[in-house]
Amino acid sequence: MGLSAGDALLVVDVQNDFCPGGALAVPEGDAVVPVVNRLAASFRNVILTQDWHPPEHLSFASSHPGRKPGDVVQAPYGEQMLWPDHCVQATHGAELHEALEVPRTCLVLRKGMDPVVDSYSAFFENGGSTPTGLRGYLEERRIGRIFVAGLAADFCVRYTALDARKVGLDVVVVEDAVRSIDVDGSLDAAWREMEQAGVRRAASREVARGGGT
Ligand code: VGL
Ligand code: ZN
């Protein structure tokens, strides 16, 4: 798979809280780190995202008396699943995994800052109406294809990939560079929806090293 200047690697939420020992640990979440590091060496443009919540964020079960992680509440923009407190701004849990080596990072995009709106996607907050600015950034930089890696495959990677298709980007999810939470069949649903939306899948070894970038 030859790479060009119009390609970017988008590394979603590889943060301490999503790795083993973290507040919302994704099984084997840290296993994506060496894969991302290898991939990143092939791209001129690398974009990182960070889930970046204020304390008492609406997505935290602790913000809803009597509710627990996994419960679903009704938010003004639709259903919202509740989570343990995670990725609180400027805490250790919100920091990127320390073994990430991505020197060609051109943008670190933070999301989920609105106290009353969650944002799984790097493009639009939950509900789909408020943009993060990533679409405009990619458009202005003439990036037409993104390769998506990171955590979690069935939440932030999934909604980022789906929204990227909605704004007309070519999207490839690097399947060995993602790991999932997998609650209530969310992983099967994720792959099904992504496939229907025209998201492609590739293994990291198929993504060429130094292929013209
Ligand atoms: C994520 C749940 C809550 C993710 C973020 O990065 O996939 N999942 N916040
Ligand atoms: Zn979150």
Which among 53, 15, 41 is positioned nearest to 150, based on CA atoms?
A: 15
Residue 19 lies in a domain: yes
In-domain check, residue 20 = yes
CA–CA distance, 94 with 144 (Å, rounded to integer): 29
Is residue 151 in contact with ligand 1, taking CB distance under 6 Å?
A: yes
Query: Quick one: which atom of ligand 1 is closest to the CA of 15?
Result: 6
Ligand 1 centroid–CA 155 distance in Å is: 6
Distance from Cα 54 to the centre of ligand 1, integer Å: 14
Cα 124 to middle of ligand 2, angstroms: 14
Strands 200-202, 170-179: pairing is parallel
- Domain count for the chain, please give it: 1
Q: Is 36 in the pocket of ligand 1 (CB under 6 A)?
A: no
Please indicate, yes or no, if residue 25 is contained in any of the structural domains: yes
Could you report the per-residue pLDDT of 73-104, keeping only the tens digit for each?
999 999 999 999 999 999 999 999 999 999 99
Please, are residues 77 and 126 in contact by the beta-carbon 8 Å criterion? yes
Residue 79 lies in a domain: no
213 located within any domain: no
53-73 residue pLDDT tens: 999 999 999 999 999 999 999
Q: Are 198 and 169 in contact (CB under 8 A)?
A: no
Closest ligand to residue 18's CA: 1
Token duo for residue 155: 């939440």
- Looking at the domain assignment, is residue 72 inside a domain? no
Domain limits at 113? 7-54+86-180
Q: What pLDDT, in 10s, does the model give residues 5-25?
A: 999 999 999 999 999 999 999
CATH code of 124's domain: 3.40.50.850
Q: Is 192 within a domain? A: no
42 lies in a domain? yes
pTM over 0.95: yes
Q: Give the Å distances, CA to CA, from 212 to 7, 42, 114, 207.
A: 10, 9, 39, 12
User: What pLDDT sits at residue 13?
Assistant: 98
Nearest CA to ligand 1 atom 6: 156
For residue 107, CA distances in Å to 4, 12, 35, 196 come to 18, 12, 19, 29
Report, as residue numbers or ranges, the catalytic residues: 13, 111, 156
pLDDT digits (tens, 9 = 90+) for 143-155: 999 999 999 999 9
